[in-house]
Amino acid sequence: MESPGAVGEGELEVMYFTSLSEFMNYLDNQVKTLEDNVNLIEKNIAQLEPRLAGFQSLLGVIKKLVGRENILLTPAIEITGLKIVIDPNPIDEYDTLKESLDAMKDKLTVLRKVRELIRVLVTTAKLDVPVLVQMRAGVPVKVLIGVSR
């Protein structure tokens, strides 16, 4: 069995698989890894929430005392599009985790749907031909079945 190889740069990439079964195994692994990561982030968020509540309460008091709504608490430095936050406050940490968690859950939903479609093809078509898969941000957007390699 030949292992898949990724080719390409940027947002789109192409992966080759020796069969639909191999592609399905790849999807199974991606789903499992993503599920594990989602569970870990959910635990991190749950542990962060008490600190977040206390910090937000303190921030509310400070805003009233200062008389301003917008207070810069954590300076962020942006270098070539990369935002660097040193010693983040609980709000920064929570927002980053929550934004990532939502995106990962969306990706997980799509990967599960694709996996089920491929599972149906594997069980009904019984094809053992090479497959080319075009991916965008790790999500299959096009599957070419029976490609030359």
Q: Which residues pair with 13 in a beta bridge?
A: 135
Backbone angles phi, psi at 17, to 5 degrees: -130, 150
pLDDT in tens, the chain (149 residues): 444 445 444 589 999 999 999 999 999 999 999 999 999 999 999 999 999 999 888 888 888 888 877 777 777 889 998 999 888 899 999 999 999 999 999 999 999 999 999 999 999 987 788 999 999 999 999 999 987 76
Q: 102 vs 19, 44, 76, 91, CA distance in Å?
A: 32, 14, 23, 16
* DSSP conformation class of 67: T
How far apart are alpha carbons 96 and 83 in whole angstroms? 11
Q: 149 vs 3, 6, 21, 110, 127, CA distance in Å?
A: 13, 13, 17, 27, 16
Per-residue model confidence (pLDDT) at position 86: 85
Per-residue model confidence (pLDDT) at position 70: 77
Residues 94, 42: contact at Cβ < 8 Å? no
Q: Which residues pair with 134 in a beta bridge?
A: 14, 142
Per-residue model confidence (pLDDT) at position 87: 84
